[in-house]
Structure 1
Amino acid sequence: MDLLSQLTASFADAFHTESTASEPLLICSPGRVNLIGEHTDYNEGFVLPAAIDKAIYLAVSPRTDNELHFVAYDLNKSFQGSLNDLSPTHTWADYLLGVVAQFILAGQQISGFNCLFTGTIPMGSGLSSSAALENGVGFALNEMFQLGLDRITMLKLSQRAENEFVGAKVGIMDMFASMMGRADHVIKLDCRSLEYAYAPLQMDGISIVLCDSRVKHSLVSSEYNTRRAECEAGVRFLKAFYPEVNSLRDVTMTMLDTHLKHTQPLIYRRCAYVVQENQRLLDGVAALETGNISAFGQLMYGSHEGLSQWYEVSCPELDILVEIARQHPGVLGARMMGGGFGGCTINLVQEDHLDDFRQLIIKQYKAQTGKDTYLHVCKIQNGTNLVSKSVSR
């Protein structure tokens, strides 16, 4: 039985005795990768994400009452609540409840509903399963109750749900990529204005491969806050000389070299990484528009060096994965992806080298770290979408 048939059958088994108004809608809401542009989002810079073929799948149907009944199929857990009492539970259910709460706060008229969801996004891989789930719930509400919301409005409600209900101060990139993705394209997103454009990703004969370091150091949250504070400190310092500077988006290397390089070397390195990463991204988009994947790959290596040496959010395991990839002739580019201190590297690998790349990375990573790595091969796909109204059992 394929995944969608299993989803429909599981939904029917879970809710066959309950109050439903119609057959379920089936929603596919993808995870995302970010090809280049890391830690630039909260500095009002650029990011270059894409939706991928690892996704959350939801079966959703409106109820005839105000009850909320959710089933997390992969966790084998369920939740029952009501529109009349929307408060955080500090469990997985908050990712759904938060979206419901934001829709109501926005004045949208909805009733209760049943939802069962499953997924193909690897757990703990940093591919933004929470954003995919939130977008899927919001998309379903819009479809079920014919609210007429556009995608930008829906993804902003998803972000607000995670910021204000779940309590995670995430940026806009994850929700944007999941909702707005386009097959065979990446999204050049301006995190200041939310202006965006699609750039072609001509990946004929090339695969996106994620190599999971299988480590997650406890530094990630505290150091994330520290990096934000260091960037903000640089902006405050420069603003005294350049009143027009409101974020690192407004800063040039000349400004940094003149005022920070010799007086505050640590702040200089942090800010310089962000300024250089924004430029790498713009150069990368230009390379993609001319079909020069090799040039783009070299910029990915530059991004990793900046993240490791200048921004210092990498770790030995991620550095080892990138160095192994760099030595393989079938790899065009590689870098760490995400907040850092663990998680995955993202690699552009020629498809006829996939098997030997897999063997090399597994063998060498084990030899150098004593740890296993898992590889996930991804394709770029469209954003959150309606699969169908139902699939017969």
Structure 2
Amino acid sequence: MLSASISAAFQDQFHYPPLLVRAPGRVNLIGEHTDYNEGFVLPAAIDKEIYFAVGLNGGSAIRLYSYNKQELYTTEASQVRRDATLWANYLKGVVAQFQKRGITVPGFDCVFGGNVPMGAGLSSSAAVECGLAFALDQLLATKLERLDLARMAQKAEHEFAGVQCGIMDQFASLFGRDGQVVRLDCRSLAYEYFPFDTSRCHIVLCNSGVKHSLASSEYNTRRQECEQGVALLQQHYPEVRSLRDVTLAQLQQHEAEFDAVVFRRCRYVVEENLRVEAACQELAAGNLPAFGQQMYASHAGLRDDYAVSCPELDTLVELARPLPGVYGARMMGGGFGGCTINLVEVAHVEEFTRRMRELYEQATGIPLETYQTTIVAGVSTLEPVIVS
């Protein structure tokens, strides 16, 4: 098991037993790019996870070891800052958040690694941030709430990775529940769990195998475009704080005042929030075909209005649509590559993955990786593995 290997690597490297923590990646069934617009999302934690072995070393040095990259990075706890080692920035960003709260972080050692595919849109970065935040909270006995840890992990991404992400990914990693999806109100942070019946339907991810370089810069551009729309609407509706507050009728009434691109961005977000609400009602009623139709509509909006899809993702959705047992499919994550999420009837999963691999490679020349996922609980400690 990977957790045992990471524990063993820690003890080989640092010669004392660590605290073991697992932090899951996430899927988001529907509600994409709504989180930073204070809207609604429907994520779940999944069994693609990052494992951490962490311990206080009694000194002042922070020693970070990436198990996947087989790289060691060292810095003084008092000298934590961004630099060119990108993977270490996510972890140092978390340390900086503890320090900003006036919490002294002494020297510690950390070995981490996992099976969350990088660049697949499963939030490996949030899992890294949340896992270390949880581990340090345990080791330093700071007794912070999970919501505080989620906010700290989000800030780490803003300040040390330079991505102005919403809170969904960190929230899902920390608040996941076994066999349940969670609807999160990204303004109030109120949340509600909905059971997901894995006896009827599995979540299958299809990795496009591409990650276009547009992703990070365009993500921040979309935020700015949404803010421009809000600024315009506030002139007519002073109560509007974010696109979350805007109705479709209000938006359409002022279409002539908008830049055409900004209007489409705003229309997507307003409609996507409505889709999340509708999808939750369908899930509660057990109506998976209707839930799937909301997913297809979400993808169309992401492709046409929000313009964050790409030809490979569009191909995956269109290939999945006619296959037996498929309820719905859409791109997932920031966009410009990564995965599609597919809801597939249990009896058809094997045939679905076989056909998708075949068809996608024929269409694009790219081999297709697929992942069947299980919905799991959020970040937790693991039983220690003692290496004799």
Q: Percent identity?
A: 51
Q: Which amino acid aligns with 2:2?
A: L
Work out the CA distance in 2 between the residues paired with 1:3 and 1:378.
17
Counterpart residue identity of residue 381, structure 1 = V
Residue range with higher mean Cα deviation, 264-273 or 381-390: 264-273
Deviations 1:44-77 (A, max 9, x none): 1111111100010011111112221121111010
- Please tell me whether residue 56 in structure 1 is matched to residue 56 in structure 2: no
Counterpart in 2 of 1:311?
306
| Cα distance, 1:263 vs structure 2 | 6.3
How far apart, CA to CA, are the structure 2 residues paired with 1:309 and 1:161? 32
TM-score of the superposition, structure 1-length normalised?
Answer: 0.94
Contact 1:260–1:267, Cα closer than 8 Å, also in 2: no
Q: Which residue does the alignment assign to 2:11? A: 12
Q: Deviations over 1:343-365 (max 9, x none)?
A: 11000112221221112111111
2:385 corresponds to 1:390: yes
Deviation at 1:246, TM superposition (A): 2.0
| 8 Å contact kept, 1:325–1:334 | yes
Q: What amino acid maps onto 1:67 in structure 2?
A: A
CA distance in structure 2 between the partners assigned to 1:165 and 1:312 by the alignment: 27
Match in the other structure for 2:116: 121
Aligned position for 1:33: 27
C-alpha deviation, 1:312, in angstroms: 2.0
Matched AA of 1:3: L
Residues 261 and 268, structure 1, Cα contact 8 Å, conserved in 2: no
Q: For residues 130 and 245 of structure 2, what CA distance do their matches in structure 1 show?
A: 31
Q: Distance in 2 between matches of 1:112 and 1:384?
A: 23
Residue in structure 2 matched with residue 345 of structure 1 by the alignment = 340
Whole-Å separation in 1 of the counterparts to 2:147 and 2:141: 16
2:18 and 2:53 in contact (8 A); partners too: yes
Deviation at 1:142, TM superposition (A): 1.1
Write the distance in 1 (CA, Å) between the matches of 2:342 and 2:107: 43
The RMSD of aligned alpha carbons is 1.7
Q: Report the counterpart of residue 165 of structure 1 in structure 2.
A: 160
Report whether the alignment pairs 1:237 with 2:232.
yes
Distance in 2 (CA, whole Å) between partners of 1:331 and 1:379 is 17
Checking the alignment, whether the CA contact within 8 Å between 1:5 and 1:392 is kept in structure 2 is: no
SS in 1 for 2:79: coil
Correspondent of 1:290 among 273, 277, 285: 285
Give the counterpart of 1:362 among 357, 360, 367.
Answer: 357
Structure 2 partner of 1:266: 261
CA contact (8 A) 2:36 2:167 kept: no
CA contact (8 A) 1:44 1:247 kept: yes
Q: In structure 2, what is the equivalent of residue 142 of structure 1?
A: 137
Aligned 1:197-212 pairs, distance under 5 A: 197-212=192-207
Cα separation, 2, equivalents of 1:61 and 1:263: 54
Superposed displacement of residue 209, structure 1:
0.9
Is 1:89 the counterpart of 2:86? The answer is: no
Distance, in Å, in 1 between the alignment partners of 2:275 and 2:240 is: 21
Partner in structure 1 of residue 176 of structure 2: 181
Q: Which amino acid aligns with 1:78?
A: L
Long gaps (5+) in structure 2:
none
Looking at structure 2, the residues matched to 52 and 391 of structure 1 have their Cα atoms a distance apart, in angstroms, of 27
Q: Of residues 258, 263, 270 in structure 2, which corresponds to 1:275?
A: 270
Residue 290 of structure 1: how far off its partner (Å): 2.1
Give distance in 2, aligned partners of 1:267 and 1:108: 42
Where does residue 222 of structure 1 map in the other structure?
A: 217
Q: State the secondary structure of the residue aligned to 2:78.
A: coil
Separation in structure 1 between the aligned mates of residue 310 and residue 148 of structure 2, nearest angstrom: 37
Aligned partners of 2:163 and 2:220 also within 8 Å: no
Structure 1 position 102 matched with structure 2 position 97: yes
Alignment match, 1:75: 69
Distance in 2 separating the partners of 1:182 and 1:355: 26
How far does the alpha carbon of each residue in 1:258-289 deviate from its partner, in whole angstroms, 9 at most, with x for none?
A: 22168654333222111111010011111122
Structure 1 residue runs without a partner (length 5+):
none
Partners of 1:211 and 1:375 within 8 A in 2: yes
Distance 1:368 1:89, change over 3 A: same
